[in-house]
Amino acid sequence: MILGIIEYRFAQLSKHRQQHILRVAEMMTQLAMIHSLSVESGRLAAMGHDLARELSRDALMAEAKRLGLEPSLPEKNEPVLLHGPVAALWLEEKNVGGPDVWEAIRYHTTAAPRLSALAKALFIADGIEPGRQFEGRVGLERAAKEKSLDEAYILMLKETVKYLKSRGLKPHPLMIEALEVSDNAV
């Protein structure tokens, strides 16, 4: 049997990661239906988003190079940040999904200013899938289902920045920019 890129990479992940991905796919299906997005694109983006998450730092850097990605300074310091961009290019290389799916996967960790609705939904779904355990999770899930995607996205961005700061980590410049743009829009 010939496996597609998603099945092939998915099979190599730990059970724990596979289960996270499946929960994100379920959450994306729900968000896509509520917010009138393509369920098919939503599921593809979710299934693809963490396919490179278990590569070592060296393997991520090597894959980035092979795929023609130029790592920025934060990515050189923290190669795990490349797992979204690398996975997006894996799908693009095999022509699985389309630009909306690749964009969503590429920015699912850092977010970015002016993302598409699908990409905002993936950023949210990744953060609120029920396997995540943090105090505000249920409230964020409710916001994502009852409010607009934009409102939920801003709340998720703020929650992520709060979490990163609590761990002494700096948010990625794209995330800071995403928040600035969102704040101006509200």
Residues making contact with Fe ion (CB under 5 A): 50, 126
Contact call for residues 161 and 171 (beta carbons, < 8 A)? yes
CB-based contacts of 71, cutoff 8 Å, min separation 6: 61, 64, 79, 82
Residue 26 CB, nearest distance to Fe ion (Å)?
13
Separation CA 186–CA 177 (nearest Å): 15
- Taking the least distance from each CB to Fe ion, the nearer of 82 and 179 is 82
- Taking the least distance from each CB to Fe ion, the nearer of 112 and 186 is 112
At position 12, the amino acid (one-letter code) is: Q
Contact call for residues 89 and 67 (beta carbons, < 8 A)? yes
Separation CA 119–CA 23 (nearest Å): 17
- Taking the least distance from each CB to Fe ion, the nearer of 14 and 183 is 14
- Taking the least distance from each CB to Fe ion, the nearer of 35 and 53 is 53
Contact call for residues 119 and 59 (beta carbons, < 8 A)? no
Residue 6 CB, nearest distance to Fe ion (Å)?
14
